[in-house]
Amino acid sequence: MLRSPYDIETRRDEAYFHTIFYLALSASGGPAQSSVLTSRGRIDMVMSLPHHIYIFEFKCNQSAASALQQMHAQGYAERYQGSGKPVTLIGVNFSSELRSVAEWIAEPEIVL
């Protein structure tokens, strides 16, 4: 399990973990976009691959289920309607105590 070192961090909040997640995906060559604006909110992160779209919502000390609920309530997948690509919604909850991912849920693919 990847954990952030205790001696290099300041605040263990959602923005902190969001940044680490974004940097890890970007460094691996993934086409990650952070803070993608929609007409009804802000998507934490999107990876748009040639044949698939992954939408991430991050929470800290909450639940992965609450992240999925927010994505549905704000219609985050609607931005990709008509793309013809399957979309997977991924809710991630970080633990400030564990300094890592506490849980995540991936919702089955939907094609818009």
The string of pLDDT tens digits covering residues 1-59 is: 455 555 555 556 666 776 776 767 776 777 888 889 888 888 999 999 999 999 999 99
How many Å apart are CA 43 and CA 75, to the nearest integer?
A: 10
Count of domains in the chain? 1
CATH no. for residue 105?
A: 3.40.1350
How many Å apart are CA 93 and CA 56, to the nearest integer?
A: 11
The string of pLDDT tens digits covering residues 79-91 is: 998 889 999 999 9
Q: Is residue 82 part of a domain?
A: yes
E-strand spans in the chain?
A: 32-38, 41-49, 52-60, 86-95, 100-106, 110-111
Range of the domain at 89: 36-111
Looking at residue 86, what is its pLDDT? Answer: 94
Q: Is residue 17 part of a domain?
A: no
pLDDT band at 97 (very low <50, low <70, confident <90, very high): confident
Chain position carrying tokens 């609450």: 66
